[in-house]
Amino acid sequence: MSIIKATYSILPAHDGMRLNEFAEAHLNEYTSKKGVKKAIKRGEILVNANHVEGGRFLKEDDIITIVDIEQTPPKVFPIDLPVIYEDDFIAVINKPAGLTVSGNQYKTVLNALGHNLKQSKSEDALPWPQPAHRLDNQTSGLLLIAKTAKARIELGNAFEEKRITKTYAAILIGKLAEAQNITFPIDNKPSASLITPLRYVSSLKNEFLTLVELNPFTGRTHQLRIHSAKIGHPILGDKLYGDDGMILKNKGLFLTAKSLTFQHPINGEEIIVTIELPTKFSRRLENEERRFNKYKLK
């Protein structure tokens, strides 16, 4: 275990604060309440060299130590990932559907980054690149990567403050005639999404399929999938929130992160990254329309 910062001494003004409150207010290494909570749980934030609970009351002269517990580099997973943008501080990759971003598995994006990205030469280079956010396993598309400590902190702040614009595309079951602003809460937390129809085609099985653009204004787990289902138009291929009879065998989820707009965490330049939709999107719409036109008169 390697100490990366041990200079936080509790002053009289902070006597009686809870550890999590102090960390949220004064530890620049963490950018959100969620980040602090996870760090304490993992044992990254210690009090007097001890692992304690976030609710522990601090006393004057307590020493807060931040330790790096990720000392073993991830075993490299040698899969080629499309690198859409890369410099010495950040990168953007196109994650394929079916690949988990990180976790206790070998075949993850995290483990594949060392195979695809160049090591940063910056003084605060991370030991290995780190995803700055997450995409569901079955969701494809743009994923932002931090390569330095400062980039990771600044990107975390940007996501927390909703300064990064994420745009998705999906195929919904049914005909969505007009844009929908959805504010259905998820896990009793406020949640907001905008779903805008782009085009629709007739379908023998589903009557209609609609290609849409989706903008999440909050970041709840499965937010776009839940919101689509709540308005009666689940995403095609959604085994969790869709209807069993409407799942296409071996076709996966028709949801992709197609665009990211953000300020570069180091130089402040506006970065806009956009990709083409997966070919399965256009093929599915074309196949559905062709089959409908072929058999509708029979």
Of the candidates 128, 58, 68, 141, the residue with the CA atom closest to the CA atom of residue 99:
141
β-partners of residue 215 are 194
- CB of 30 closer than 8 Å to CB of 36: yes
Rounded Cα–Cα distance for residues 20 and 17 (Å): 8
What is the Cα 53 distance to its own chain's centre?
Answer: 27
| Closest C-alpha to 35, from 127, 128, 160, 149 | 160
Q: What distance in Å separates the CA atoms of residue 158 and residue 132, rounded to the nearest whole number? A: 10
User: Catalytic site residue 136?
Assistant: yes
Tokens of 231: 């308005």
DSSP string over 125-138: EEEEEEESS---TT
Length of the chain: 298
Instruction: Catalytic residue, from 136, 238, 243, 244: name it.
Output: 136
SS3 160: helix
To 5 degrees, how large is the angle CA 60–CA 65–CA 68? 170
260 vs 159: CA distance, rounded Å? 12
**Enzyme catalytic residues:** 136
